[in-house]
Amino acid sequence: MTKFFAKSSNFIAKGSGLVANLLLIAMLMSIGTQVIARFVIGAPTVWAEELARFLLIAITMVGAAALIEKNKHISIDIVVALLPPRAKLFVTWLRDAITLSVCGLMAYYGWLLVGIGSRQTSTGLGVRMSLPYTAIPLGAALMALVLVLSRAGRISEDG
């Protein structure tokens, strides 16, 4: 059963990474369009900078799920590395519990923000703000799901 969890976590993390990379390409194209429009043509666009900003938020939230699976987030682990194995395991589980709690809070309050954003329209693109705000609860839920699945897939390794 742990192999199923590990494979599921890996699949979701790779999918999140792929989506984040595609969003990065779209963001670079948007920024390139803005640079060409502003400095070559002399007529800056209204929408390109806003789109790039929204894509950056989506890249950050969705891409974070890909990093959770492999423990690639920035961390200062010098103290943890010095701990004995049982203490290290405890600190790792505590860290994961805190991360899961934060993801839950971000998903909950992000979903509330999506509701508020449904009454607002963006200036440049003219879309409901609920669309870019959706990246927050979606990314938090993906991070939580990948965290739970990847840790469940490693239970036999932890002891």
What tens digit of pLDDT does each residue of 119-132 get? 999 988 999 999 99
Q: Which two tokens stand for residue 109?
A: 């309050």
pLDDT > 70: what percent of the chain?
97
Query: Structural domain tally of the chain?
Result: 1
Using DSSP, state whether 50 is helix, strand or coil.
helix
Position 32 in a domain: yes
For the cut 70, the answer to whether the pLDDT of residue 156 exceeds it is no
- Distance in angstroms (rounded) separating the CA atoms of residues 149 and 121: 36
Q: What is the largest CA-CA distance in the chain?
A: 63
Position 15 in a domain: yes
pTM confidence score: 0.86
Q: What one-character-per-residue DSSP string does 85-117 give? A: HHHHHHHHHHHHHHHHHHHHHHHHHHHHHHHHH
Q: C-alpha angle with apex 105: 153 to 150, nearest 5 degrees?
A: 10
What tens digit of pLDDT does each residue of 3-48 get? 888 888 889 999 999 999 999 999 999 999 999 999 999 888 989 9
What is the residue range of 116's domain? Answer: 2-151
